Amino acid sequence: MTDENVIDMNDRKQNDWKKYTKGGIFLVIILALLVTLLMNLFIVKEGEYKVVRQFGEVVRIVSEPGLTYKIPFIQSVTTLPKFQMVYDVEEAEINTKDKKRIIIDNYAVWRVEDPKKMIANTRTVENAEAKLEEFVYSALRAELGQLNYDEIINDEKSSRGSLNDRVTQKVNELISADNYGISVTDIRMKRTDLPEENEQSVFTRMISERESKAQEYLSMGDAEKNRIIANTDREVKELLAKAQADAEIIRGEGEGEAARVYNNTFAQDGEFYSLYRTLESYKRTIDGETVIILPADSPYARMLMGYTE
């Protein structure tokens, strides 16, 4: 092989190497562009907001589900929940209107309404929940401070409406006034309890109040019983007096009628009437111990001895 042939072969090899090198570099660039493009595409799911930031500042909020993009290297994406969330509010000790200390345990159902406002004022979901807890405690303290303990326990009978609804409305007003970009759907009281150091004294006072109330009911019952007995006795006396008066009237009328009958009867035979009156007087005046001394020739003695002539 001549020197010229060797030189030609080396040139061809160098040309082929350059050609392969350029093709590889182009392929790498294409792959890098594809990877970069894919890395800067993101999916927005149902129930979430995508927050696009540029150098830390919010430049775009994506709320509709689908595929979208961000500018490589200078933009970043974070996620905020769009659905309703439940936050268990820390237990709080409240003083009621009647100066009783109670422990209130609540939960709040809330959601992010305006992500941009929420980020501007609270930065994170955790900070938003902390702020929500402050508002709930403030609203509860204001509302429960106007109610007695019994009204809180029996809230469904309160003429002022539901305590939970009033607290929810108050918290939303506080949130809206400060533009926190969130809203509360519902606040519910899970449990109402007394501090441990107060439980026994409250129970003792409740027992005493119930015993006092029971004694009051017993006294009222005794008073009502005595009133009924007095009224009944009075009515009985009135009925007896009226019956006695009616009996006296009837007896007088009967005696008068009897006297009239006697008079009419005895008027027909004067001697028989005289004899009858005499015998009646003897019946009233003579008993088993009476001793009568009569002349033997007296009409009465002769009658007793059987002499009729």
How many domains, in total, are found in the chain? Answer: 2
Specify whether 95 is located in the same domain as 188: yes
Specify whether 89 is located in the same domain as 188: yes
Minimal CA–CA distance to 74: which of 56, 93, 88, 54?
54
Asked if the structure places residue 216 within a domain, the reply is no
Confidence at residue 32, expressed as pLDDT on a 0 to 100 scale: 66
Element (H, E) at 150: helix 149-153
CATH number reported for the structural domain that contains residue 109 in this entry: 3.30.479.30
Residue type, 9: M
What residue ranges of the chain have pLDDT lower than 70?
Answer: 1-20, 22-24, 26, 32-38, 154-161, 195-202, 266, 269-270, 284-285, 287-288, 299-309
Q: Which string of DSSP letters, residue by residue, matches 76-107?
A: EEEEEE-S-EEEEPPPEEEE-TTS-EEEEEEE
Asked if the structure places residue 292 within a domain, the reply is no
Structure tokens that stand for 113 in this block: 């309404």
Specify whether 157 is located in the same domain as 121: yes
**Domain end among 24, 52, 81:** 81
Asked if the structure places residue 56 within a domain, the reply is yes
Minimal CA–CA distance to 53: which of 33, 36, 78?
78
Specify whether 65 is located in the same domain as 98: no
Q: Which residues of 112-138 are buried (b: 16+ CB within 10 A; e: fewer)?
A: bebbeebbebbeebeebbebbbebbbe
Asked if the structure places residue 254 within a domain, the reply is no
Specify whether 72 is located in the same domain as 115: no
Confidence at residue 159, expressed as pLDDT on a 0 to 100 scale: 45
Asked if the structure places residue 233 within a domain, the reply is no
Domain ranges, residue 47: 14-81
Specify whether 98 is located in the same domain as 187: yes
Specify whether 111 is located in the same domain as 36: no
Confidence at residue 160, expressed as pLDDT on a 0 to 100 scale: 46
Q: Would you say the pTM of this structure is higher than 0.85?
A: no
Q: List pLDDT tens digits, range 273-292.
A: 777 777 777 776 676 677 77
Cα 43 from Cα 34, distance rounded (Å)? 17
Minimal CA–CA distance to 80: which of 136, 123, 130?
123
Q: List pLDDT tens digits, range 183-241.
A: 999 998 888 777 666 666 667 777 888 888 889 899 999 899 999 999 999 999 999 99
**Domain end among 66, 81, 96:** 81
Minimal CA–CA distance to 139: which of 104, 114, 180?
104
Confidence at residue 98, expressed as pLDDT on a 0 to 100 scale: 81
Asked if the structure places residue 253 within a domain, the reply is no
Asked if the structure places residue 158 within a domain, the reply is yes
Asked if the structure places residue 237 within a domain, the reply is no
Specify whether 113 is located in the same domain as 177: yes
Specify whether 70 is located in the same domain as 91: no
Specify whether 104 is located in the same domain as 131: yes
Torsion over CA: 284, 289, 295, 296 (sign): positive
**Domain end among 173, 193, 213:** 193
Specify whether 100 is located in the same domain as 174: yes
Q: Coil, strand or helix: which one is 68?
A: strand
Structure tokens that stand for 240 in this block: 């007896």
